[in-house]
Structure 1
Amino acid sequence: MTSPVPWAQEAMLPEDFGAGLLRADLGEGVVAGFTTRHGGVSPAPWSSLDLADTTGDDSARVQRNRDLLAEWVGAPVAFATQVHGADVLDLGPAERAEWSGAPPMSAGTADGLVTAEPGLGLGVLVADCVPVLLADPVARVVGVAHAGRRGLVAGVVDRVVDRLLARGAEVDRLRAAVGPAVCGACYEVPEDLRDEVTAVVPESWSTTARGTAGLDLPAGVTARLAARGVVTTRVDRCTMTDADLFSHRRATAAGEVAGRQAGVVVLS
């Protein structure tokens, strides 16, 4: 079951939770949310909460932005090097110690992360792709998925769900939040590419506002979660048209560079 939620930024940003974080309710004992581009220290063109080390931003500023995020959610947040695949990494006590000290920039190469370790945040970086947060608050396991076009086709969402189930989660207790991403009205692709993707995930079929072939990746992700029986909420905000969010496609069209926002989930 999926419920679109028109999350108003001003309604979702209590002062004690950071100026740039949209809350997601994944159950008791779980802190989860999605950052916007606000609340950080990076100057233009990243302005201002750029969380990635791959955008040309200064690494010290990126680390300060990540420190701010850690302060907001009450835990260090681990990120992977994302490659639009479907590999999933399990993180535990060793990674919590590592990220609590002098944190690395990456926990390894993967597009999904899971953990049962309290006090270790999991982050997923995006600037048009779909960030997915999952939790079973009873089994005390959480996960994230980076679902771009290729990752969605490769099955990254299902692989994270499978890994959570292997760690003790149960489908009827799993909750998911699908974060801001480029919408189907804005994500224009060649017709043959749309055919290729929708042959695997039919629900991602879309026609853009211009009447051309498109892909609706958030719809595809929510369909995959629904097929697994996972109760899901969706942040109905398009990165391409929402100036409060980073968008790689929007920035590229303007000859600029985009930072990266994040989805994050923590067992408190």
Structure 2
Amino acid sequence: MITNVGLGAGVGAAFTARAGGVSRPPYDSLNLGGAVGDDAASVRDNRGRAAGALGIAAGRTVWMRQVHGADVAFVTGEPGGSGSPGDGLPPVDAIVTTEPGLALAVLVADCAPVLLADPEAGVVGAAHSGRPGTAAGVVPALVAKMRERGADPARMRAAIGPAACGDCYEVPDAMRAEVAGVVPEAYATTRKGTPGLDIRAGITGQLAGAGVTDVWLDPRCTIESGDLFSFRREGVTGRFAGYVWIKGAEDE
């Protein structure tokens, strides 16, 4: 259910998968997305199960309203209108915190979940970077926001989670040209010989351009792996998540 990632001492990071939850088809079973048509009680149960498996305290995860943009927000554990941290945030596709014990979550089902950390500065961030967000530069914007909080790109560690791979992610030729015009590394040709995009390669190039070279890539393709949710493969489906957080003293 969980793939843990090493982003440095004092930092927790992980990607969930599909199994281990209570949602019924077509969201079976560990769907963490609250805006895909699944039963709300099942989503709450699934989020509690994931947090428990990761050792994250109840009610200490920030969820974004993702819109495929490049806006970034700094978040704290102060509860919003619903009593949850981060509630009331405007729509954003990346978030940053310096607060120990506060987990940042990014939901995906073909887009790339990107986790960043500077353990020395005590700054972590998460981004939702699909085709539009990658072209718009959400990950470089996340690096810049983390720098505002004292992070150094030369110290940052990044993890890019499962996403649609360049062999599978087929797009019209004009769309490939448009994205590759701003992110050249994303240019790809699928195994069928058709125009494609390699979003993770594009993000890796963006990170390098921002000074972040310590990058871990999850090799799994969401379209190919039945263990993960994929919108392109299934249409109506759930969402898995990437989590990153600064561990509190009690977690050390």
Which TM-score band applies after superposition, normalised by the shorter structure? over 0.9
Query: After the TM superposition, which of the residue ranges 86-95 and 188-197 deviates more from structure 2?
Result: 86-95
Q: Indicate which of 53, 60, 68 corresponds to 1:72.
A: 53
The equivalent residue for 1:87 is: 71
Q: What does 1:54-203 align with in structure 2 at a 5 Å threshold?
A: 54-75=35-56, 76-95=60-79, 107-203=89-185
State the identity as a percent. 50
Cα deviation for residue 45 of structure 1 reads: 1.2
- Taking structure 1 as reference, are residues 266 and 111 closer, same or farther at Cα in structure 2, changes over 3 Å only? same
Query: Does residue 1:36 correspond to 2:17, yes or no?
Result: yes
Question: Does the CA contact (< 8 Å) of 1:36 and 1:49 recur in 2?
Answer: yes
CA 46–104 in structure 1, closer or farther in 2 if over 3 Å, else same: farther
* Alignment size in residue pairs: 243
Amino acid at match of 1:174: M
Which runs of 5 or more residues in structure 2 are unaligned? 248-252
SS of the residue aligned with 1:239?
coil
In 2, Cα distance between equivalents of 1:171 and 1:87: 19
Deviations 1:23-60 (A, max 9, x none): 11000111101010111111111111101111110011
- 1:258 to 2:242 alignment: no
TM-score, normalised via structure 1 length: 0.87
SS in 2 for 1:94: coil
How far the C-alpha of 1:103 sits from its partner, in A, is 6.7
What is the CA distance between 1:106 and its match in structure 2?
A: 7.0
1:215 to 189, 197, 209: 197
Quick one: structure 1 residues 104 and 91, their matched pair in 2 at CA, closer, same or farther if it must change by over 3 Å? closer
Letter in 2 for 1:200: V
Output the CA distance in 1 between the equivalents of 2:243 and 2:103.
Answer: 6
How high is the TM-score relative to the length of structure 2?
A: 0.92
Is the 1:78–1:107 Cα contact (8 Å) retained in structure 2? no
Unpaired runs of 5+ residues, structure 1, are 1-19
Farther off after superposition, 25-34 or 69-78: 69-78
Match of 1:47 in 2: 28
